[in-house]
Amino acid sequence: MAFSTWITFVIAASIIAVSPGSGAVLSMSHGLSYGVRKASGTILGLQAGLLLVLAIAGAGVGSLLLASELAFNVVKTVGALYLIWLGFSQWRAKVQAAPGGADAAADGAQAKAVLPSLQKRVLTGFLTNATNPKGIIFMVAVLPQFIAQDHPLVPQLLILAATMCTIDLVVMHSYAFLASSMQRFFRDAKSVKRQNRVFGGLLMAVGAALFFVKRGGAHA
pLDDT in tens, 114-165: 788 899 999 999 999 888 877 777 777 777 777 777 788 788 888 989 999 9
**Which pLDDT value is given to residue 170?**
95
Query: Any bridge partners for residue 112, and if so which?
Result: 96
Between residues 40 and 15, which one has the greater pLDDT? 40
* Pick from 98, 106, 134: nearest CA to 20: 134
- Quick one: pLDDT band at residue 220, thresholds 50, 70, 90? very low
Could you tell me the pLDDT band of residue 109, with boundaries at 50, 70 and 90? Answer: very low
Tell me: pLDDT of 108 over 60.
no
Residue 111: strand pairing partners: 97
- The whole-number pLDDT of residue 105 equals 41
Q: Rounded to whole angstroms, how far apart are CA atoms 30 and 46?
A: 12
The confidence band for 168, taking pLDDT boundaries of 50, 70 and 90, is very high
Exposed/middle/buried for 111, CB within 10 Å: 0-12, 13-18, 19+? buried
The three-class DSSP label of residue 102 is: helix
CB atoms within 10 A of CB 24: 22
What is the pLDDT at residue 177? 93
- Nearest in space to 215 (alpha carbons), one of 151, 120, 119, 136: 136
Q: Which candidate, 49, 48, 27, 50, places its Cα nearest to that of 39?
A: 27
Query: Which pLDDT belongs to residue 203?
Result: 75
The pLDDT of residue 176 is: 93
% pLDDT > 90, the chain: 20
Q: What amino acid is encoded at 17 in this protein?
A: A
pLDDT tens-digit profile of 57-105? 777 665 666 667 777 777 778 777 877 887 887 777 666 555 444 444 4
Q: 89-99 in b/e burial notation, b at 16+ Cβ within 10 A?
A: ebbebebebee
